[in-house]
Amino acid sequence: MSIRRLPPELINRIAAGEVVERPASALKELVENSLDAGASRVSIRLHAGGLELIEVADDGCGMSPDEMRLALERHATSKLPGDAIDQVTSFGFRGEALPSIASVSRLTLDSRVHGSDGWRIEVDHGERAGEGPAALPPGTRIQIEGLFDKVPARRKFLRSPRSEYAACLDSVKRLAMARSDVGFTLDHDGRRILTLQAADAPTRVAELLTHELDRHGIGIDCIREGLRLTGVISLPTFNRGMADQQYLFVNSRPVKDRVLVGALRAAYRDLIARDRHPIAALFLEVPLEEVDVNVHPAKTEVRFRDPAAVRGLIVGGLRHALDEESQRSAAHEQAAAPVMWTSSASYVPEPNPGLGIASLREEQRVFEPVTFVPQARAEPAVEPVPSFPLGVARGQVAATYIVAEAENGLVIVDQHAAHERLVLERMRASREGGSIARQALLIPEVVDLEETDCDRLEGAAGELAGMGLEVERFGPTTMLVRAVPAALGKTDAAGLLADLASEIAELGGPMSLRDKLDHVAATMACHGSVRAGRVLSVAEMNALLREMEVTPRSGQCNHGRPTWVKLGHSEIEKLFGRK
């Protein structure tokens, strides 16, 4: 075995493997360089998702020909004037992006410092291919062609131009949100995709996230122990099947950080189904010494000195905001989003403009189509309506929906979804109060299950007992239920145990006990709830409405759907063409 020092070319290609994974990561490095160069405008052109061409032009400080040559060398950077790697405020600092990209593509670097002439250097897969004068306005323009064309091992992992383009767009969005003071344009295959003027952060974020957040978003601004969190998050009822619309920033650097993603998840725990995801743009500001950005060559990961403090701020701050909004569901008539989160430390909601008919129609899709014969029982509307937010029950429709009259409109409640939520919150409140009310069964119930399910329930018996459910192994395939949580009321024990067993199997992974308990509680709550199809008395309906009004998070069911919707008087009038 003989040890040798690797030639610089090979070193660059090895580094390229870490720094540039695909067109989007090369693009990210180039745009970061433009931002570091003090650009006020960045223009981006892509062909075929960046596979054929990536061009980034800026009006930043530019480079002299000597600086350009140096910039293409490995570990050459202008961003660490001292040795203080822990005080980095620029995007770049490792000095490896340009040489890495140049080693796996054809790169053309044009640059011009204000007051002198432009210069061009061409590099073909790491080999200098020529230089000479170039005509361009002050600033820098870099073109990358045929990325990975000569690196089959990499090429193989590239996806279609379409999905490479999607990844590029995502990179640009993240950087454009990070630096709202900079203008951006993005062209793909000759088509203008984005035009962004310099703006404040809330305006920029609103431009890049779905406009629906105007109504379904919550502004965030909180400070704790030197950490500040600002941004906007979606109401739990406004969620997505993918976690692709979560934009997280630490000191203006876009990151994909596990601590932050985990905290975001935790804040929505049990407000949203496990396979659904909120939309969020969150900006965390922390003192430089609290965070290490030199963790990964692509610089998208960070390490916090005190991850628990960061998690605490995020979970606490978001949870507080979500609780405040909990009485409002996404289908609520009130316009919501105070998206101007940075304008003041505590926001003042905008006056309510009300919904137009078009959006009202959209909201009606919340209802399942009613395919059965409607059977309604009505109470005469005689007495004046007392000012309960959710109104007074007037009747039940299809044995599933409660119709109530409120001061300023009509409220429709999904009785099962609402009750399920109430049961969960009751169970949680009693758990947190330390006293779980149990209801012992006079005659223990015998439940037959698969042997593996019995094993799981037996293994979790201690935890379940802590929540008021006492189960005991009775035989290889039999469990005995001795007590159930009082909050559940009368329950189908066999169904509950079967569901809990599969719930426990699914949760087998590394979750905190608290998280697990919440999931188990949600499963129990579903079993203890008033089912759709049960006819309720007026007194029962009113009791449900009053309890919803005082229960936190009662605007959404445990799966993140709204539990109630409201038609304001003005909407009803519009529907009838009276307005």
* Sites of contact with Mg ion (CB under 5 A): 33, 92, 97
Q: How far is the CB of 80 from ligand ADP (least distance, A)?
A: 8
State which residue, 12 or 491, has the beta carbon closest to ligand ADP.
Answer: 12
Beta-ladder partners of 229: 222, 284
Q: How far is the CB of 28 from ligand ADP (least distance, A)?
A: 10
* Binding-site partner at residue 96 among Mg ion, ligand ADP, none, CB < 5 to 8 Å by type: ligand ADP
Q: Which of residues 281-340 bind ligand ADP (CB under 6 A)?
A: none
One residue of 20, 26, 97, 360 binding ligand ADP per CB under 6 A:
97
State which residue, 75 or 377, has the beta carbon closest to Mg ion.
Answer: 75
Listed ranges 95-103, 127-135, 214-222, 300-308: which one lies at the site for ligand ADP (CB under 6 A): 95-103
Residue 63 binding ligand ADP, by CB under 6 A = yes
Q: How far is the CB of 334 from ligand ADP (least distance, A)?
A: 46
Check: CB of residue 126 under 8 Å from CB of residue 102. Answer: yes
Check: CB of residue 63 under 8 Å from CB of residue 78. Answer: no
Residue 391 binding ligand ADP, by CB under 6 A = no
Q: What is the residue type of 387? A: S
Nearest-angstrom CA–CA distance, 193 and 50: 14
Pairing assessment for the beta strands 392-397 and 376-378 based on DSSP bridges? antiparallel
What residue has token string 């308990």? 517
Beta-ladder partners of 545: none
Q: What is the distance in angstroms between the CA of the first residue and the CA of the last residue of the chain?
A: 88
Backbone dihedral angles phi then psi of residue 388, each to the nearest 5 degrees: -85, 135
Tokens of 283: 């900006």
Q: How far is the CB of 112 from Mg ion (least distance, A)?
A: 19
What is Dmax (Cα atoms) for the chain? 97
Nearest-angstrom CA–CA distance, 563 and 401: 10
Nearest-angstrom CA–CA distance, 523 and 558: 9
DSSP 505-545: HHTTSS--HHHHHHHHHHHHHHHTSPPTT----HHHHHHHH
* Binding-site partner at residue 545 among Mg ion, ligand ADP, none, CB < 5 to 8 Å by type: none
Q: Which of residues 114-173 bind ligand ADP (CB under 6 A)?
A: 140
Residue 96 binding ligand ADP, by CB under 6 A = yes
One residue of 13, 22, 94, 120 binding ligand ADP per CB under 6 A:
94
* Binding-site partner at residue 63 among Mg ion, ligand ADP, none, CB < 5 to 8 Å by type: ligand ADP
Torsion of CA 174, 176, 179, 185, to 10 degrees: 160
Residue 360 binding ligand ADP, by CB under 6 A = no
One residue of 41, 69, 79, 319 binding ligand ADP per CB under 6 A:
79
Q: Which of residues 28-47 bind ligand ADP (CB under 6 A)?
A: 29, 33-34, 37
* Binding-site partner at residue 78 among Mg ion, ligand ADP, none, CB < 5 to 8 Å by type: ligand ADP
Q: How far is the CB of 170 from Mg ion (least distance, A)?
A: 19
Check: CB of residue 376 under 8 Å from CB of residue 397. Answer: yes
Residue 103 binding ligand ADP, by CB under 6 A = no
Nearest-angstrom CA–CA distance, 342 and 18: 36
Residues of this chain that interact with ligand ADP (CB under 6 A) are 29, 33-34, 37, 58, 60-63, 71, 76-79, 92-98, 140
